Amino acid sequence: MDLLLPMLLSLQQLDDKLSAFAQKKQEIPEQIQAMKHAFEEEKKQLEDHQQCLKEASLEQRQLEKQLQESAEERKNKQKKLLEVKTNEEYKALLKEIEYAKQADSAIEDKILDKLEKIDSLEQTIKEGEKSIREKESKLQEETLRLEREIVEVDKEHQILQHERERVAAEMDPAVLEDYEKIRSRRAGQAVVTVWKEVCPGCHMKVPPQTINEVIQTGEIRHCQYCRRILYCELEETA
């Protein structure tokens, strides 16, 4: 009978560890997923920048072409100036040339803007590519590490599981059933160690009489409020 409460306590501790392992087993793949997702996001951003660069370069080339054609046209108009017969025609042509010059100057400004944009995009892409390379190898390392950790956690989980089965097999089935029932109702916590005459499960006071009974008889007493099984240690109740 003396061993009953220590056994229950060790069962509770095993179950605590088991649920921690179960949680870890669930969290590790989620961690890997989150890392991969963040990496993919960054990669996508880099691809967006590369696409922008492609478009800006294309636009710049188109503008250059436009400027070249316009210069050609203007040259022709300059030649025509020598051939016109009337003053009105001459004036109109001069005006056209002037307009064309203004339009070209606007195109030149646009080209400068594009070049600036291209420059800054190239810089961003260069940095992005470097960062992606670093992150890719880090991701591989981390994934490997976490996958190895899963194997370890799994192994330890199994060892604990066996240990738990061994402890449970030694217990009175009725006690075990009581324990399981409380555990399922109380978020996995069936056995609590009374601290300063308080049940840590529900924070209610445990009568000194109950504490004394537990210490003296080693029998099971429940918290009268939450029904958890009370484990008591002499020095902590003094």
Contact positions toward Zn ion, by CB under 5 A? 199, 201-202, 223, 225-226
User: Whose Cβ is closer to Zn ion: residue 49's or residue 221's?
Assistant: 221
User: Whose Cβ is closer to Zn ion: residue 156's or residue 197's?
Assistant: 197
Shortest gap between Cβ of 201 and Zn ion (angstroms)? 4
Supply the DSSP string of 93-122, one letter for each residue.
Answer: HHHHHHHHHHHHHHHHHHHHHHHHHHHHHH
Task: Please name every residue paired with 191 in a beta bridge, in sequence order, or none if there are none.
Answer: 229
Shortest gap between Cβ of 215 and Zn ion (angstroms)? 18
Shortest gap between Cβ of 225 and Zn ion (angstroms)? 5
User: Whose Cβ is closer to Zn ion: residue 121's or residue 214's?
Assistant: 214
Whose tokens are 């944009």? That residue is: 117
Residues 10, 167: contact at Cβ < 8 Å?
A: yes
What's the rounded Cα separation, in Å, for the pair 107 and 102?
A: 9
What's the rounded Cα separation, in Å, for the pair 78 and 72?
A: 10
Shortest gap between Cβ of 10 and Zn ion (angstroms)? 20
Contacts (Cβ under 8 Å, ≥6 apart) of 14: 160, 163, 164, 167
What's the rounded Cα separation, in Å, for the pair 116 and 164?
A: 68
What's the rounded Cα separation, in Å, for the pair 218 and 205?
A: 20
Shortest gap between Cβ of 182 and Zn ion (angstroms)? 10
User: Whose Cβ is closer to Zn ion: residue 56's or residue 223's?
Assistant: 223
Q: What are phi and psi of 53, to 5 degrees?
A: -65, -45
Whose tokens are 């920048």? That residue is: 49
Shortest gap between Cβ of 14 and Zn ion (angstroms)? 21
Q: Which 3 state secondary structure label does DSSP give 203?
A: coil
Task: Please name every residue paired with 25 in a beta bridge, in sequence order, or none if there are none.
Answer: none
